[in-house]
Amino acid sequence: MDITISNKKQAWLHAIRLRTLPLALSSILMGSFLAAYSYNYKWQVFILAAITTVFLQILSNLSNDYGDSIHGADSEERKGPVRAVQSGIISLSEMKIAIVFLTILSLVSGLSLLYFSIQDLKMFALFLGFGILAIWAAITYTSGKNPYGYAGLGDISVFLFFGLLGVAGTYFLHSMDLTLTVFWPAISLGCFSTAVLNINNIRDIESDRIAGKKSIPVRIGRKNAISYNWTLIILGNVSLLGFAYANNAYGCLIALLIFPLMLVIGKSIQSKHDPRDLDPYLKKMAISTLLWVILFGTGLLFF
């Protein structure tokens, strides 16, 4: 069902896309659960990492709204929710100011996180580089002269930042250490987060094709994109088995209770062809991922 934007408050809420925030926080929760399991949890790291991630996600959403409007992906052919700039209620100049503001907030919050968690100057510089890279990735996904999202590289970025770097980086900031087994659940989060993006791109496949946005579904076609989606869901859950076996921590397998829900989502994406019918499953996959992480952490720490 289409939603009409009638005022600036609604427009900004649509641009911020609150429904994406649970997914953004999932990697921070996962890294923090793993740190608590190894007795290295620091509440300051969790809070500052969560705030920084929320700022980065909002920055990405605003930049995406701006970039897709500039490049034509948010046209009349698009079947997803109306965007803020596309609606005409928020101007391009206003969105630019908001992007600059969120960039500053992300940088300040990220620097605060590094200040409280890292004492080594070289390590501080390394993570500062990661932070600047994350800001760059958030802005240039669909903005700029050569947005990498239009080249079909968004999946790689999401897998890295929501998965590997998000989980392993958070764990490291808690513990100042890194173990290879952390990457099993990091792969899970990367897969689930990429599945959310893939569902979004399956929904927008026709409008993206018209706009020249070569997302993975545009490149490989809807049928193969559905198979890709199944692969991401299954691989994310299989990776959980690898972590449980490597750590002899079988309590975390309680997260598999969410697997049937993910299967229902995958089946729905496969069976529904109207782009409007696909939109609710973005939120469902994101919330399923968050629930998966919560059950994982609960099982890991208490069973």
Q: What is the per-residue pLDDT across 9-27, written as a single tens digit (0 to 9) for each? A: 888 888 888 888 999 999 9
Q: Are 199 and 281 in contact (CB under 8 A)?
A: yes
Helix (H, G, I), strand (E, B) or coil at 146: coil
Average pLDDT over residues 162-167: 96
Task: Report how far residue 186's alpha carbon sits from residue 119's, in angstroms, rounded to the nearest whole number.
Answer: 25
Dihedral sign, Cα of residue 288, residue 293, residue 294, residue 296:
positive
Average the pLDDT over each of 25-39, 99-113, 181-195, 198-212 and give the range with the smallest value.
198-212
pLDDT of residue 71: 61
Q: What pLDDT shows up at residue 75?
A: 47
Domain boundaries, given as residue ranges, for the chain: 8-302
| The amino acid at 247 | N
- pLDDT band of 8, cuts 50, 70, 90: confident
By C-alpha distance, which of 184, 188, 147 is closest to 290? 188
pLDDT of 5 reads 63
pLDDT over threshold 60, residue 170: yes
Q: Which pLDDT value is given to residue 271? A: 94
Tell me which DSSP letter residue 1 carries. -
Confidence at residue 68, expressed as pLDDT on a 0 to 100 scale? 75
| Residue 135 or 8, more confident | 135
Q: pLDDT tens digit string along 88-98?
A: 788 888 899 99
Confidence at residue 87, expressed as pLDDT on a 0 to 100 scale: 65
pLDDT in tens, 123-146: 999 999 999 999 999 999 888 778
Q: Residue 298's pLDDT is what? A: 97
What is the model's pLDDT at position 112?
A: 96
* Helix spans in the chain (H): 8-16, 21-37, 43-71, 84-87, 92-117, 121-140, 154-158, 165-175, 183-203, 205-211, 216-220, 222-247, 259-271, 275-278, 280-302
The 10 Å Cβ neighbour count of residue 22 is: 18
pLDDT of residue 18: 87
Mean of per-residue pLDDT scores for the chain = 91
First to last CA, the chain: 42
Given this structure, which CATH class describes domain 8-302?
A: mainly alpha
Q: What is the pLDDT of residue 2?
A: 46
User: pTM value?
Assistant: 0.92
- Given a cut of 60, whether residue 3 has pLDDT beyond it is no
pLDDT in tens, 63-102: 988 887 776 554 455 455 556 676 678 888 889 999 999 9
